[in-house]
Structure 1
Amino acid sequence: VLKRTYDDVDWMEEGGESSRNAAARGLALLEELWSRPEQHAAVVTHGNLLSLLIREYEPSFGYEEWTKLSNPDVYVLERQRPDAGLSTIRRIWTD
């Protein structure tokens, strides 16, 4: 079932949420954080939503990559040019 949510971002279980909707919810939070005056923020989430957010910045990130996430795992998202929306994401957790 989880693999299906990566293959079809609009599919959802009854009473659930699609990957597209979950990613939009997460991205809205990131936008809210970027509008704040603080220079840094920490966002803590579960692996599924983390993988959807990573996928927004690295489109090749999918189900297979999700299976390789460790628990815990840590990624850094840096906004390079807010005016252009350019960002980089990188894993900093070492197993």
Structure 2
Amino acid sequence: MASFEDMDFKLPGGESTAEAANRGIEVINELLDTSANNIVIVTHGNLLSLIIRNFKKEFGFNEWKEMKNPDVFELIIENDKFSIDRIWK
């Protein structure tokens, strides 16, 4: 829970929430610079929750706890606008 409250929190030898989120968003940005129209990204739940949080600031610890394993979200980015929705029922 500390990593959701303090983006700079990090365990010894680990990376902070901010560092992990930046790593995930960097991959998305690199993929957006390609000519691909549809992209699938597979990751673990914690990094997925950090990526979602980048787009939905209210996504926090409680939302992370409600995630399923597996879980699927759709992120649509067009003309600097985005939508993100859970599509796994």
- Global fold match (TM > 0.5): yes
> TM-score with structure 1 length normalisation?
0.92
Distance 1:8 1:80 in 2: 30
Which residue, 44, 47, 62 being the options, matches 2:45?
Answer: 47
3-state secondary structure, aligned to 1:61: coil
Equivalent residue runs for 1:22-41 within 5 Å: 22-41=20-39
2:87 corresponds to which residue? 92
SS of equivalent to 2:75: strand
Q: How many residues matched? A: 89
1:13 corresponds to which of 11, 23, 28? 11
TM-score, with structure 2 as normaliser: 0.98
The secondary structure found in structure 1 opposite 2:83 is strand
Structure 1 alignment gaps of length 5 or more? none
CA distance in 2, matches of 1:9, 1:50: 15
**Which of 57, 75, 82 in structure 2 is aligned with 1:77?**
75
1:86 is displaced (CA, Å) by: 1.8
**What pairs up with 1:56-71 in 2 under 5 angstroms?**
56-71=54-69
RMSD: 0.6
The residue matched to 1:90 in structure 2 has which SS?
strand
Partner Cα separation in structure 1 for residue 75 and residue 36 of structure 2:
15
The separation in 2 between residues aligned to 1:7 and 1:18, in whole angstroms, is: 11
Separation (CA, whole Å) in 2 of partners of 1:88 and 1:21: 23
